[in-house]
Structure 1
Amino acid sequence: MAECGIRRAMSGTLPFAPVRVVEDVAAESGAELDVDVPMSRLTTLRVGGPARAMLTCRDTDTLVAAVRALDAARVPVLILGGGSNLLVADSGVDAVVVRVAGDGVRLDDGLVVADAGAVWDDVVARSVDAGLGGLECLSGIPGSAGATPVQNVGAYGVEVASLLRRVQLLDRASGEVRWVGPDALGLGYRTSVLKHTDTAVVLAAEFAVTADGLSAPLRYRELATVLGADEGERRSAAKVREVVLGLRAGKGMVLDAADHDTWSAGSFFTNPVVPDDRLPAVLAAIAARLGEGVAVPRYPGDGGTKLSAGWLIERAGFAKGHPAPGAAARLSTKHTLALTNRGAASAADLLALAREVRDGVQDAFGVRLEPEPVTVGCRI
């Protein structure tokens, strides 16, 4: 009955492949086939047009079989995890969306091994509940475990790069499944060789943790202050997780369906790294706008000095809650680095707001902000 329903719902030819090919892949791989699925239901920004065909893969073998078959048939594919770092066009997706839904988590001898589709915060919670330390500062980050090495996710002084032991990948060119170490991933600030490329699919990730129940050394001043600790100290992983969740919730960074400030992709722009030869001009522009002697938050960065994107956005004149035309999209009322859907926003609304903020910072300070989310079918 389900197959008949699918055939009636789908036309003879999708924009990107014959229906029969997609149906055959679903039948042979064991993936669940759905049609005309609004991407707004599957992304934390809650925008995006339909996925004409979506294959849900609930284990690694199904995922590998489905992607291999689609690639062999030359069918365009969009790999979807938790949808927390994705901005999809209102027109939808001209590809088969392969939803990674395997959610296994294994805790073993100082290691946490998570299937790519596991909810990341569930992975962190399980590790902390088991008395393991290291992941607690990454609590509350939405999305899936498989996305964490792609983005080199980080928060409160800890990055995945410092904890990652290895990643299991499907090489889409050869069809080979293999484990690779962090050195093969080109991990940098919120990036890796896996980001903005479709050459490999993350199947699982393995993290090294400690068995003493203590956190990673505290490297973030705000977190250390709330804990009454000095930077570099270690505290109970459970307590650190509790405080991190509280801090993130106060900034609208913990998902809550009732709070439109969390209808976002988290921090929309990365903190810019300004090359050393351009820093004097940027600081001069800041002084010209804000006055001599203003304290500019800055930190060492790869190839230059890292500035705070949120600080620049506010000083360029964008207040919390700043609206796009029509007000369907706004900056978060809690945190200017998040672009939010107030309930009825489109992808176009969010793109317009992103452009306004990006261009405003560029005009004010000569710094170009780069978006963190991956865009599908649209550009900022």
Structure 2
Amino acid sequence: MEVPMSPLFTPVRVGRYTLPNRLVMAPMTRSRTDFDGTPGALAAEYYAQRAGIGLIVTEGTQPSDDGQGYLTTPGIYTPAHVAGWRKIISAVHDRGGHIFIQLMHAGRMSHPDNTPHHRQGVAPSVIAPGTGMFTMAGMQDIPTPRALTTEEVRRTVTDFRKAARSAIEAGADGIEIHGANAYLVQQFFAPSANTRTDEYGGSLENRARFAIEVATAIAEEIGADRTAIRLSPGTTMWGIDEGAEGPDLYRHLIAELDRLGLAYVHIMHQGNEPLLADIRTLWHQPLILNRPGRPRDRIGADLASGLADLEAYGQMVLANPDFVVRLKADAAMNEPDQNTYFGGTAQGYIDYPVLSARADTSSRPEILN
């Protein structure tokens, strides 16, 4: 028996699109691409299976050779990448879905063995993250990165711009800048990773500059209403410490990004409720909120309270291609198999069971244009 209609299942305007519901598939690295960054053969089915969710945000996708950090992650900067993504996006669109490609530059979270050029990682400053990374040779310490020159920072902004254009050429509905989880954009925010003395370091305004320039360049290239950003204020993973000024940096950043009229901001919430409330006030476009580990009985709570316009989920969507159908029916969820998260075959990727044929989004009446 289906549960009563919830605001979760009502349409919402995000950028230039009307989404059929307010649920979002959070970006999740799956490490199943070819070594050159071309999406793997099973990726089209993986994403298409989940097209019933309001918006799919893809796994982190590097904008350049230097942007790659992990083994077998996708790129979106060569003709082969574009062709591979075009198959995926076409499959999602054929089932009525919407999909944004997340552009992720790993920065110092990189190992040369995982990249096509086998070069030292790049970062705001010469500071290692102090952790290891999986490679074909097993776990290895991440080497100390090389600091980007000021001109190289500007060229990296251009790399993001070109990758966004390639994403649109592949048919993507838009792109999400990965400004979270200790990767390059957030490395610029954190004094523990950024000791620069040029215009990209020092003051909070300078440390926010790279993110603002990337967002501005992409918005100019593909339209602000197809451009978005993900942030994780307060993240302390992998040596990131944004310091006492961290909340003020985000208040400044959100206010500046708001001027651009982006499609949405996607917050991975780390627990600072006053800052989250300020972000909600400062941001005038749709807000997507991801609370890691949110229990089933709290799904929809942030939407109901008015704190968010959409809610993002990762592992539950990974394990339940028919996530929306199960929520509507108040049905049990599949448990994700953590052993198959990264790399591998169809197992744990495209073989999670669905409730019934109702999970086939090609015949679902609630799917809009």
Structure showing greater radius of gyration is: 1
TM-score (normalizing by structure 2): 0.27
Structure 1 or 2: larger helix share? 2
Larger RCO of the pair (alpha carbons < 8 Å, separation 6+): 2
TM-score (normalised: structure 1): 0.26
